[in-house]
């Protein structure tokens, strides 16, 4: 009997539950070999992710190591580079050594879900926080802690207000739950800072629709949700669409700019770019599969979950929820075994049981079987009970139970798990009239204009005046980066502007070790000096 | 009554316990204002740090938020830029906006401890893991998980052996405890990987002295410790001094090179560089204070803990331990209040109670009052009891107790908390004959030679031959970085060589947006082409 190798790409609900079912089905036979490829070595129980923000549960209570869930599956903790369908091979990105790795398959399951995609929204990739993965939740939590700490020692009222303004864009489940948790958390944190008046804290939820959760719930439940959020101190911005972001503000389609240091965007996710490159048939960015979950035109490639467009017998397509993904996973596992055994395949069918959303501590909303509606504490208790029950693995159930119990007993945590990263070369987006830096600021980075233009403004003899205008391709800020003095001028953007940023230490390394790089900057600088007839001191001292 | 502002720099045992004592002393009076400056918003209970590696305790069980320990202290979670002793002002590094912040003091307490310092050891800064801070522990733990996962899917025997070799340098408390935990953890992790034979795992502890813990304990206890470690499967390399590190090996003073992907160095710490710049009187890198803990030559500057050279009445100086730091803290707090009240100061004196060291699960060694010696399970139970008792804050005591209890009940975790960082511009060190990359490898970075020289080797018509030699100032690797093909040649170092590394995405940003940068690379490349009479295709395609 020849062994059949089933390779699963993706470790979300779809991929992990398919692997679990396949492990169960392979207990009675020895010809199945299961392999799973994922970027992380753990499975995230998404519904609990918002609770990580506020520390209601510990950092790792909502996640299970894949190895525990899948003891008999071979794991590759790697990124997918591509698939060679001719040769039934998946290419994986390198581990410690710079070589691709090939993995053969007899059957391939594509379960790569969706990713956050900020293309088409200037500045969001650089300045908005995401909320989809565990890493996003940890980064957001650390950011909130830092913002409150800084607000506690900030003397400038405008800056303090910006620090204490929190904007969440997107009024679906993810945006609402995230906003409710942010609101709970920052208000609790601020109590420890005597210099912060709770009335100064603004938590805003922006949604392009007429009501929050308008796509998920009937009017009554979505209006109830709104009342709960407003009672908790959240301000709703309805009919409001996020357009762009800058280091200091959220910019909306109607032109309004809100000054903030915290913008979270939960705008619709996009298909995983790894899928786009595979050349499989797609529709609306999702892979086209038939009712048996087989990808159109392929004998041994299957797909499910958020990345697949799964047709339902009653018409329409399965929504991208965990409920559907787990049912599809079980169905798909059985169909693959049927295909291997030469038996006829079955068609997927499932009716949604209900929908639930948490609204922060002690509040939730739910709709069951399209009829029963629940809200408030009963819905919240049901929410916790169902998800505790659904959480895979007894270890996690114990941990989560203990966390929820300790949550009653001891005050939650606000340790900032700061993992300092090297900055590298980045980008920034600014809107018209925003300042990149002010005269006298520390020189922390050098900037190259990619798009747009800026005005160089200096205070000379007490009068502010524009001394130059710089266009795309030009750079500024090298003077203060190379010296230990402050910025010699302010920079204001004349239009929406994109900048490339090279951090101080990177810039210094490049200048001192790459003569051509240094020479290029000397040229730029000396041209500018001549044009402005300014000081002739050497710009770059080596 | 004028308010007295006491500013504390540093949030370790010394700084935090001084602040706690000052808070206690200020309960009965209103003229004391306490401020603490620290890089992180938490206090790390150092003795428990090794347990984080193996997950015996949770990530945040060993740390307490400063705000909880110090409810009435003003906190600045910032780095110290410098001190202006003339104007009694501390300068802090920027927060969200690029400006320094000044903080006035009436009394200044310098409690900045020591930092890991790899100067003088080529390659250690780039390739060795540290073990001093919480961040170090998290990074080390994540690295161990990744190494075992990669070993589980590695087919090449030499690479697999390197992945399964773990080297810890330093046989003091920190190195021994860290090594014991690494050993426990990787052996437990490897049990889940069917392709790893436990006999392949090598955990090595290198120490320059004749016995481990030879400075800390008498011969009997240090020999007992050695027997425990050897029984656990650790190999001791005694009389062995680490000299350098490369991406693939640990290099020792006697010339031996051990191939490994995990080198942890706990070599002696150095004074905090922030202190070096202050211009206070130093000896052996520590601040000179008198018996009252006042810094020599200053009226209102005090120091304690690991960064201070505290004289003891019996002669000699206080060792850099938590036991001494906490006693000094209480003493210093009282002396400052005495100084404010115009009362005479008291002289610090304290006899060490004992020393303890953990040796992984269920084993420890201890010496009490210089007489009583304990080892094995009794010492381990005493170790846990004492540290549980010493852990500040009832919240933490509960959490730690629960963690230790869960540790008996459920299997420990191995979730890899991967926070992907942007790479930026870095450095690498290689020794003679090591390869930087091989022909055919993926082009993930460009290299500039800072020191040393390399040989460019290509396989032409099946024969390997040296086609060029590159010296300091030259660069290589740009071809594969700009294309999607593999490396066209291998690079071998002719001598110990330092390289600057620019990652693929950074290099591409710089080339496409900075014409001068691109031009520089075109020049270098075309020179090299002429010299080698190679292909004339444009090297950099824009």
Q: State the average pLDDT over residues B399-409.
A: 76
Burial of B207-236, coded b for 16+ CB within 10 Å and e otherwise, reads: bbeebbbbebbeeebbebbbebbeebebeb
Longest dimension (CA), chain A: 89
Q: Chain A within 8 Å of B417 (Cβ-Cβ)?
A: yes
Give the torsion through C-alpha atoms of B108, B114, B116, B122, to 10 deg.
90
Q: Chain B within 8 Å of A115 (Cβ-Cβ)?
A: no
Q: Which residues of chain B neighbour A410 with C-beta distances below 8 Å?
A: 394-395, 398-399
- pLDDT, one tens digit per residue, over A435-444 is 999 998 988 8
Closest-CA distance, A41 to chain B, in angstroms, reads: 6
Whole-angstrom Cα distance, residue A480 to residue A440?
Answer: 9
Question: What pLDDT, on the 0 to 100 scale, is given for residue A18?
Answer: 97
| Nearest Cα residue to A18 out of A73, A81, A64 | A73
Q: Is the pLDDT of residue A189 over 60?
A: yes
Q: Is the pLDDT of residue B534 over 70?
A: no
Contact B244, B251 (CB under 8 A): yes
Residue bearing the bigger pLDDT, B403 or A268 = B403
A:27-56 residues touching chain B, CB 8 A cutoff = 40-42
pLDDT band per the 50, 70, 90 thresholds, residue B418: low
Tell me how far CA of residue B251 lies from CA of A402, B26, B248, in angstroms. 46, 53, 10
Q: Is the pLDDT of residue B533 over 60?
A: no
A:487-506 residues touching chain B, CB 8 A cutoff = 500, 502-503, 505-506
Q: Which residues of chain A neighbour B473 with C-beta distances below 8 Å?
A: 513, 515
* Residue contact B146–A420, C-beta within 8 A: no
Q: Which residues of chain B neighbour A144 with C-beta distances below 8 Å?
A: none
Tell me how far CA of residue A342 lies from CA of A338, B267, B362, in angstroms. 6, 63, 55
Helices (H) and strands (E) counted in chain B, each on its own, are: 15, 33
Whole-angstrom Cα distance, residue B140 to residue A297?
Answer: 46
Whole-angstrom Cα distance, residue A354 to residue A217?
Answer: 10
- Candidates A65, A75, A520; nearest CB to B520: A520
Give B49's DSSP letter: H
Q: Is the pLDDT of residue A348 over 70?
A: yes
Give the torsion through C-alpha atoms of B328, B332, B335, B340, to 10 deg.
180
Q: Which residues of chain A neighbour B98 with C-beta distances below 8 Å?
A: 437, 441-444
Whole-angstrom Cα distance, residue B159 to residue B155?
Answer: 8
Q: Is the pLDDT of residue B172 over 50?
A: yes
Q: Specify the long-range contacts of residues A311-316, CB closer than 8 Å, at least 24 apart.
A: A312/A348, A312/A349, A312/A350, A313/A347, A313/A349, A314/A349
Helix axes A322-341, A13-25, angle to 10 degrees: 40
Q: Which residues of chain A neighbour B450 with C-beta distances below 8 Å?
A: 513
* Residue contact A95–B150, C-beta within 8 A: yes
pLDDT band per the 50, 70, 90 thresholds, residue A536: very low
Closest-CA distance, A406 to chain B, in angstroms, reads: 8
Q: Dump strand ranges (E) for A208-272.
A: 234-238, 242-246, 249-252, 257-259, 262-265, 270-271
pLDDT band per the 50, 70, 90 thresholds, residue A251: very high
Question: What pLDDT, on the 0 to 100 scale, is given for residue B427?
Answer: 87
Residue bearing the bigger pLDDT, A332 or B523 = A332
Q: Dump strand ranges (E) for A353-493.
A: 354-358, 364-368, 372-375, 425-430, 435-437, 445-451, 453-460, 463-471, 475-476, 490-493
pLDDT band per the 50, 70, 90 thresholds, residue A20: very high
Q: Which residues of chain A neighbour B415 with C-beta distances below 8 Å?
A: 41-42, 60, 63-65
Chosen for mutation from A498, A509, A511, A522 (greatest number of chain B CBs closer than 10 Å) is A509
* Residue contact A402–B399, C-beta within 8 A: no
Q: Chain A within 8 Å of B376 (Cβ-Cβ)?
A: no
Q: Chain B within 8 Å of A100 (Cβ-Cβ)?
A: yes
- Percent of chain A at pLDDT above 70? 93
Q: Is the pLDDT of residue A116 over 90?
A: no
Pairing label, strands B234-238, B202-207? parallel
Q: Which residues of chain A neighbour B448 with C-beta distances below 8 Å?
A: 513-514
Whole-angstrom Cα distance, residue B15 to residue B69?
Answer: 12
Q: Which residues of chain B neighbour A138 with C-beta distances below 8 Å?
A: 417, 419
| Nearest Cα residue to B103 out of B125, B119, B87 | B87
* Residue contact A41–B145, C-beta within 8 A: yes
Question: What pLDDT, on the 0 to 100 scale, is given for residue A529?
Answer: 58
**Alpha helices of A154-294 — where are they, by DSSP H?**
157-163, 173-190, 219-231, 273-276
ipTM of the complex: 0.86
Question: What pLDDT, on the 0 to 100 scale, is given for residue A443?
Answer: 86
Give B144's DSSP letter: H
Q: Chain A within 8 Å of B353 (Cβ-Cβ)?
A: no
Of A119-123, A480-484, B416-420, the least confident: B416-420
* Residue contact B440–A100, C-beta within 8 A: no
Specify whether the backbone of B433 is left (phi greater than 0), alpha (psi in -120 to 50) or beta. Answer: left
Q: Which of A62-66, A190-194, B180-184, B392-396 has the highest mean pLDDT?
A: B180-184
Q: Dump strand ranges (E) for B171-281.
A: 202-207, 234-238, 242-246, 249-252, 257-259, 262-265, 270-271
Domains of chain A: 4-39+78-114+270-341 (3.50.50.60), 124-267+356-409 (3.50.50.100), 425-532 (2.60.120.10)
Phi first, then psi: give them for residue A2, nearest 5 degrees.
-80, 140
Closest-CA distance, B227 to chain A, in angstroms, reads: 33
Across the A:B interface, residue pairs with CB atoms under 8 Å apart total 223
Contact B540, B478 (CB under 8 A): yes
3-state secondary structure of B429: strand
Phi first, then psi: give them for residue A140, nearest 5 degrees.
-65, -45
Question: What pLDDT, on the 0 to 100 scale, is given for residue A304?
Answer: 96
Q: Is the pLDDT of residue B411 over 70?
A: no
* Residue contact A442–B76, C-beta within 8 A: no
* Residue contact B152–A415, C-beta within 8 A: no
- Candidates A416, A424, A519; nearest CB to B40: A416
- pLDDT, one tens digit per residue, over B32-83 is 999 999 999 999 888 888 988 887 777 777 788 899 899 999 999 999 999 9
Question: What pLDDT, on the 0 to 100 scale, is given for residue B381?
Answer: 86
Other CB atoms within 10 Å distance of the CB of residue B378: 11
Contact B262, B129 (CB under 8 A): yes
- pLDDT, one tens digit per residue, over A54-113 is 877 777 777 888 998 999 999 999 999 999 999 999 999 999 998 899 999 999 999 999
* Residue contact A448–B41, C-beta within 8 A: no
Q: Which residue of B has its CA nearest to A262?
A: B96
Closest-CA distance, A515 to chain B, in angstroms, reads: 8
Q: State the average pLDDT over residues B194-203.
A: 95
The separation between CA A36 and the C-alpha centre of its own chain, rounded to angstroms, equals 23
* Residue contact B60–A60, C-beta within 8 A: no
Q: Which residue of A has its CA nearest to B262?
A: A96
pLDDT band per the 50, 70, 90 thresholds, residue A422: low
3-state secondary structure of A316: coil
* Residue contact A409–B399, C-beta within 8 A: no
Longest dimension (CA), chain B: 89
pLDDT band per the 50, 70, 90 thresholds, residue A258: very high
pLDDT band per the 50, 70, 90 thresholds, residue B531: low
Give A214's DSSP letter: T
Tell me how far CA of residue A398 lies from CA of A218, A403, A413, B291, in angstroms. 35, 9, 19, 52
* Residue contact A67–B192, C-beta within 8 A: yes
The string of DSSP codes covering A82-117 is: EEETTTTEEEE--SSSS--EEEE-SEEEE---EE--
Q: Chain A within 8 Å of B521 (Cβ-Cβ)?
A: yes
Closest-CA distance, A419 to chain B, in angstroms, reads: 6
Q: Which residues of chain B neighbour A444 with C-beta distances below 8 Å?
A: 94, 98
Q: Is the pLDDT of residue B539 over 70?
A: no
- Which residues, 6 or more positions from A408, have their beta carbon under 8 angstroms from its beta carbon? none
Q: State the average pLDDT over residues B462-466.
A: 90
């Amino acid at each position: 009997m020849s062994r059949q190798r089933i390779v699963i790409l993706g470790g979300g609900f779809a991929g992990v539950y398919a692997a679990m079912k396949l492990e169960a089905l392979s207990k009675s036979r020895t010809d199945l070999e299961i392999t799973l490829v994922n970027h992380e070595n753990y499975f995230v129980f998404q519904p609990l992710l918002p609770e990580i923000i506020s520390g209601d549960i510990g950092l790792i209570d909502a996640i299970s190591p894949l190895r525990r869930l899948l003891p008999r599956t071979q794991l590759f903790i790697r990124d997918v580079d591509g698939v060679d369908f001719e040769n039934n091979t998946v290419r994986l990105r390198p581990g410690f050594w710079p070589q691709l790795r090939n993995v053969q398959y007899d059957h391939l399951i594509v379960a790569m879900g969706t990713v956050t995609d900020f293309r088409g929204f200037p500045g969001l990739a650089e300045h908005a926080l995401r909320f989809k993965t565990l890493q996003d939740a940890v980064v957001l939590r650390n950011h909130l802690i830092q913002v409150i700490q800084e607000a506690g020692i900030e003397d400038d009222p405008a800056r303090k207000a910006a620090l204490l303004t929190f904007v969440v864009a997107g009024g679906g489940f993810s945006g609402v739950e995230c906003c409710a948790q942010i609101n709970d958390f920052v208000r609790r944190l601020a109590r420890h800072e005597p210099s912060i008046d709770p009335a100064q804290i603004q938590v805003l939820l922006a949604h392009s629709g007429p009501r929050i959760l308008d796509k998920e719930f009937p009017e009554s439940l979505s209006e109830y949700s709104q009342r709960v959020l407003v009672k908790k101190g959240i301000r709703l911005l309805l009919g409001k669409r996020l357009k762009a972001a800058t280091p200091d503000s959220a910019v909306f389609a109607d032109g309004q700019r809100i000054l903030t240091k915290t913008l979270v965007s939960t705008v619709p996710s996009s298909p995983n770019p790894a899928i786009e490159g595979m050349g499989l048939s797609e529709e609306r960015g999702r892979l086209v599969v038939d009712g048996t979950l087989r990808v159109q035109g392929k004998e041994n490639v299957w797909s499910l979950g958020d990345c697949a467009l799964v047709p339902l017998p009653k018409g329409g397509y399965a929504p991208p929820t965990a409920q559907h993904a787990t049912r599809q996973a079980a169905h798909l596992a059985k169909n693959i075994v049927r295909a291997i055994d030469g038996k006829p395949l079955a068609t997927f069918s499932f009716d949604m049981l209900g929908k639930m959303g948490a609204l922060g501590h002690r509040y939730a909303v739910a709709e069951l079987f399209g009829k029963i509606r629940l809200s408030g504490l009963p819905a919240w208790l049901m929410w916790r009970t169902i998800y505790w029950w659904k959480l895979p693995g007894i270890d996690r159930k114990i941990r989560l139970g203990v966390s929820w119990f300790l949550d009653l007993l001891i005050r939650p945590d606000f340790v900032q798990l700061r993992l300092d990263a090297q900055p590298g070369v980045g980008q920034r987006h600014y809107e018209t009239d925003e300042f990149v830096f002010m005269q006298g600021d520390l020189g922390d980075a050098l900037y190259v204009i990619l798009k747009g233009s800026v005005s160089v403004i200096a205070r000379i003899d007490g009068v502010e005046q524009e001394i130059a205008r710089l266009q795309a391709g030009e750079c500024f800020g090298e003077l203060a980066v190379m010296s230990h003095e402050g910025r010699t001028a302010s920079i204001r953007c004349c239009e929406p502007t994109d900048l490339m940023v090279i951090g101080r230490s990177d810039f210094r390394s490049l200048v001192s070790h790459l003569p051509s790089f240094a020479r290029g900057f000397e040229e730029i600088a000396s041209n500018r000096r001549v044009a402005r007839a300014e000081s002739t001191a050497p710009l770059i001292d080596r």
